[in-house]
């Protein structure tokens, strides 16, 4: 089976100019439920998170640009310089950008940064078991399931299991 060509994406460091789009996306029930927000989003909390992320050496937060437009975010956080690991999270906030390979292209770009510039050994993530599209995207770039955490996530008020997935530098083929 041949894969279709991936769309062109670019990652840029997140800044305050991205706050309004992020706030709008966090108000979208689809995005909000999949990222597991614990409080109602506000523009000021979004700006505060962006300021904190810019100062924190354990966070690398990027806007995903497609066709020059900011369509989502990818974040490497919990960066541990001793064991060379980081957690990855991603969401595509613009509905029109979903389902076209944008997330997969952004994952590849983020992993290139993680294993190249940051020289990490491993990138890991958690994803609730009902987020099948995300799980497919993670597997397509080389993430493997390393475990299952029972009742670890609240999805629309109900408990859901999450998968713990990881990728090693040696398993990443760009």
How far apart CA 106 and CA 128 sit, in angstroms, is 20
Q: Which residues does 6 contact at the CB level (< 8 Å), separation at least 6?
A: 101, 104, 105, 108
User: What per-residue confidence (pLDDT) applies to 3?
Assistant: 63
User: What per-residue confidence (pLDDT) applies to 26?
Assistant: 94
User: What per-residue confidence (pLDDT) applies to 30?
Assistant: 86
**27-36 pLDDT, tens per residue?**
998 898 888 7
**96-144 pLDDT, tens per residue?**
999 999 999 999 999 999 999 999 999 999 999 999 999 999 999 999 9
Assign 132 to helix, strand or coil.
helix
User: What per-residue confidence (pLDDT) applies to 127?
Assistant: 96
Write down the pTM of the prediction.
0.92
User: What per-residue confidence (pLDDT) applies to 156?
Assistant: 80
**55-111 pLDDT, tens per residue?**
999 999 999 999 999 999 999 999 999 999 999 999 999 999 999 999 999 999 999
- pLDDT tops 80 at residue 54: yes
For strand 85-92 and strand 122-128, is the pairing parallel, antiparallel, or unpaired?
A: parallel
Point out the residues that are catalytic: 138
Give me the DSSP letters along 97-125: GTTTTHHHHHHHHHHHHHHTTS--SEEEE
Which listed CATH number (3.40.50.720, 3.40.1280.10, 3.40.50.1100, 3.40.630.30) goes with 9-171?
A: 3.40.630.30
How far apart CA 33 and CA 134 sit, in angstroms, is 13
| Residue 168 bridge partners (DSSP) | 122
Using pLDDT thresholds of 50, 70 and 90, give the confidence band for residue 18.
Answer: very high
31: which 2 tokens? Answer: 């995005």
- pLDDT tops 90 at residue 4: no
More confident site: 14 or 1: 14
């Amino acid at each position: 089976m041949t894969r279709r060509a991936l769309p062109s994406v670019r990652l840029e460091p997140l800044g305050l100019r991205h706050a309004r789009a992020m706030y709008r996306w966090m108000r979208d029930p689809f995005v909000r439920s999949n990222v597991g927000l614990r409080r109602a989003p506000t523009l000021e909390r979004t700006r505060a998170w962006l300021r904190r992320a810019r100062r924190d050496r354990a966070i690398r937060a990027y806007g995903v640009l497609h066709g020059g437009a900011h369509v989502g975010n990818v974040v490497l956080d919990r960066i541990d310089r001793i064991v060379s690991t980081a957690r990855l999270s991603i969401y595509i906030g613009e509905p029109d950008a979903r389902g076209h390979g944008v997330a997969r292209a952004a994952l590849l770009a983020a992993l290139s940064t993680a294993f190249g510039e940051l020289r990490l050994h491993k990138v890991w993530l958690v994803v609730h078991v009902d987020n099948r599209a995300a799980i497919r995207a993670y597997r397509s770039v080389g993430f493997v399931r390393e475990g299952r955490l029972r009742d670890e996530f609240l999805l629309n008020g109900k408990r859901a299991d999450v998968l713990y997935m990881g990728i090693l530098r040696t398993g990443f083929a760009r």
